[in-house]
């Protein structure tokens, strides 16, 4: 299938003051109704609501949004991570968004420009480029067209296309059509970490696609529902995996934001979604060899100072075979985020996240194991342009031979890998955006 992509836009009914996002980005306080594509907070589907860090725009910014409709943004994400296992290769195994430890790493730098659908301007456009250690890790599994004989550009060029899509939202039917390269709608956690409540992402989030290449149609329905269908290259792939596309169907529901009573502030909101991915992920196109992956999540905003979220997934590969060739994955996480201080130019959030994932046959992480983790994060946001974080994370693997790299053991098949890992991250993320 040619290189296309999944839609990453909010439906026409969404607030025209906000940029859209497909994936749930669990982050600090929220801007409701379709914010994100680079706003901070859980925002899974174009129509869902979720926490976002830029939830207090200035009157000047609001006016610019109303008059213009375009947004441009640049950002940089730098972190230093301590790893208790001190691997010589400095690699945090299985992690895309924060792949380097025991060094100062430039994980991601990027620039975006976007135009969401709005009244009188139903067209959609997004273009973004990024680079860094996280981008290299994310695209390390990209297939090379032609295999070992493939040469020149390939994923070395495509990997820098963070977003690249166009579309239209029909004014009356509110149906959205789009194609290009988009953020995937499955899972909780954005690849651009400033959108997330925690700095590191969950194991579940590193399994479902951060990006998709294909096309999408989305239809808002009565009572807060939205139905979407996707045709994509593969389960996170710019390049063609085979001669047949894969599919994704999704259903989301959002209970509209309701103002809370004093002394609380902000709004309360609830969003639910479920997605099913299906298609061939290898050379065989038979249905019995398809990957089938079911993703479900929920986000509840108690007000603008406290939010909860949860996600759970189930995946079966070679689903038509009930014998030794079948593989199973299941796992998920719980999220909680609260604001403990909020001033004119500063805000402090605390977030916690327990999680567990079973990769029974090593389909995704290469090892039959449970991965059990706990994460705590303190986030200081300054002047709506700077995010300083301190995070502690503990990971445990039940793999017989261990899972995490340590010291000189930096190969997946090395004997004596670690079963436990403690990490501490200190991160600095800066961004600047403007509307025109």
Q: How confident is the model over 231-253, as pLDDT tens digits?
A: 999 999 988 778 889 999 999 99
> In this model, does residue 67 exceed pLDDT 80?
no
Strand 104-115 and strand 246-259: the pairing is unpaired
The residue with greater pLDDT, 416 or 47, is 416
pLDDT, position 23:
58
pLDDT at position 164, please? 97
Cβ–Cβ < 8 Å for 30, 301: yes
**Which pLDDT band, with edges at 50, 70 and 90, does 160 fall under?**
very high
- pLDDT in the model for residue 22: 54
* pLDDT value, residue 253: 98
Which of 33-37, 134-138, 376-380, 392-396 bottoms out in mean pLDDT, i.e. has the lowest? 33-37
What is each CA distance from 42 to 25, 29, 271, 391, in whole angstroms?
Answer: 4, 9, 10, 19
C-alpha 300/C-alpha 318 separation (Å) is: 35
| Encoded tokens for 364 | 């995704």
Q: How far apart are CA 215 and CA 306, in angstroms?
A: 35
Mean pLDDT of the chain: 85
Instruction: Give percent above pLDDT 90 in the chain.
Output: 68
If one compares 32 and 141, the residue with the highest pLDDT of the two is: 141
pLDDT surpassing 70 at residue 155: yes
Asked if the model's pLDDT at residue 417 lies above 70, the reply is: yes
pTM for this entry: 0.85
Q: Which residue has the higher pLDDT, 326 or 224?
A: 224
Query: What are the b/e assignments for 184-198, b being 16+ CB within 10 Å?
Result: bbbbbbbbbbbbbbb
Under 8 Å between Cβ of 25 and 184 = no
Dist CA 30 CA 192 (whole Å): 16
Average pLDDT over residues 79-88: 98
Contact 194, 387 (CB under 8 A): yes
Output the DSSP codes for 109-129: EEEEEEE--BTTB-EEEEEEE
- Domains and their CATH numbers in the chain: 30-435 (2.40.160.10)
Confidence tier at 5 by pLDDT (50, 70, 90): very low
pLDDT of residue 9: 31
Contact 128, 51 (CB under 8 A): no
Average confidence (pLDDT) over 98-119: 96
Which pLDDT belongs to residue 48?
A: 33
Q: Is the peptide bond before 263 cis (omega within 30 degrees of 0)?
A: yes
Question: Quick check: 259 pLDDT over 80?
Answer: yes
pLDDT given for residue 137 in this prediction: 96
Specify whether the backbone of 175 is left (phi greater than 0), alpha (psi in -120 to 50) or beta: beta
What phi and psi values does residue 288 have, to the nearest 5 degrees? -65, -15
Which residue's structure tokens are 């902000």? 266
pLDDT for 190 beyond 90: yes
Q: What is the pLDDT of residues 40-64, one digit of tens each?
A: 444 443 333 333 333 344 444 455 4
pLDDT tens digits, 337-383:
999 999 999 999 999 999 999 999 898 999 999 999 999 999 999 99
DSSP, res 38: S
pLDDT exceeds cutoff 80 at 321: no
pLDDT computed for residue 65 by the predictor:
52
Angle at 32 between CA 248 and CA 374, to 5 degrees: 70
Q: What is the pLDDT of residue 43?
A: 41
What the block records as the tokens of 327 is 């593989």
Tokens matching residue 361: 């046959």
Tokens 């085979």 locate to 242
User: Does 99 score more than 80 pLDDT?
Assistant: yes
Tell me if 12 sits within 8 A of 169, measured CB to CB: yes
2 Cβ contact list (under 8 Å, min separation 6): none
The pLDDT value given to residue 330: 96
């Amino acid at each position: 299938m040619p290189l296309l992509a999944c839609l990453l836009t909010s439906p026409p009914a969404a607030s025209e003051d906000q940029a859209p996002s497909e994936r749930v980005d669990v982050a600090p306080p929220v801007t409701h109704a379709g914010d994100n594509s680079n706003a901070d907070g859980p925002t899974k589907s174009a129509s869902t609501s979720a926490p976002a860090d830029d939830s207090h725009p200035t009157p000047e910014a609001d006016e610019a949004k109303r008059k213009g409709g375009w947004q441009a943004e640049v950002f940089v994400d730098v972190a230093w991570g301590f790893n208790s296992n001190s691997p010589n290769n400095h690699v945090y195994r299985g992690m895309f968004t924060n792949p380097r430890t025991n060094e100062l790493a430039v994980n991601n730098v990027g620039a975006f420009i976007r135009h969401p659908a709005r009244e009188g301007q139903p067209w959609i456009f997004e273009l973004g480029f990024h680079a860094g250690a996280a981008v290299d890790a994310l695209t390390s599994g990209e297939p090379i067209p032609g295999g070992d004989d493939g040469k020149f550009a390939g994923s070395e060029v495509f990997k820098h296309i963070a977003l690249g899509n166009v579309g239209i939202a029909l004014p009356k039917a509110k149906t959205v059509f789009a194609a290009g390269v988009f953020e995937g709608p499955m899972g909780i956690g954005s690849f651009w970490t400033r959108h997330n409540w925690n700095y590191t992402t969950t194991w579940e989030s590193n399994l479902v696609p951060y990006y998709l290449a294909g096309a999408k149609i989305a239809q808002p329905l009565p009572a807060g529902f939205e139905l979407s269908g996707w045709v994509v290259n593969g389960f996170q792939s710019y390049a063609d995996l085979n001669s047949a596309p894969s599919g994704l169907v999704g259903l989301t529901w959002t209970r509209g934001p309701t103002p809370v009573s004093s002394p609380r502030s902000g709004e309360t909101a609830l969003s639910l979604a479920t997605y099913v991915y299906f298609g061939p992920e290898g050379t065989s196109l038979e249905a019995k060899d398809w990957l089938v992956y079911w993703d479900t999540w929920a986000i509840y905003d108690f007000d603008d100072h406290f939010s909860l979220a949860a996600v759970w997934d189930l995946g079966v590969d070679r689903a038509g075979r009930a014998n030794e060739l079948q593989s199973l994955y299941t796992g998920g996480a719980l999220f909680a985020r609260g604001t403990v201080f909020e001033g004119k130019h500063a805000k402090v959030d605390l977030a916690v996240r327990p999680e567990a994932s079973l990769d029974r046959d090593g389909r995704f992480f290469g090892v039959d194991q449970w991965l059990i983790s706990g994460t705590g994060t303190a986030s200081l946001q300054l002047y709506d342009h700077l995010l300083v974080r301190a995070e502690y994370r503990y990971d445990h693997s039940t793999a017989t031979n261990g899972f995490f790299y340590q010291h000189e053991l930096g190969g997946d098949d090395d004997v004596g890998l670690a079963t436990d890992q403690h990490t501490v991250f200190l991160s600095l993320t800066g961004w600047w955006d403007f509307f025109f």
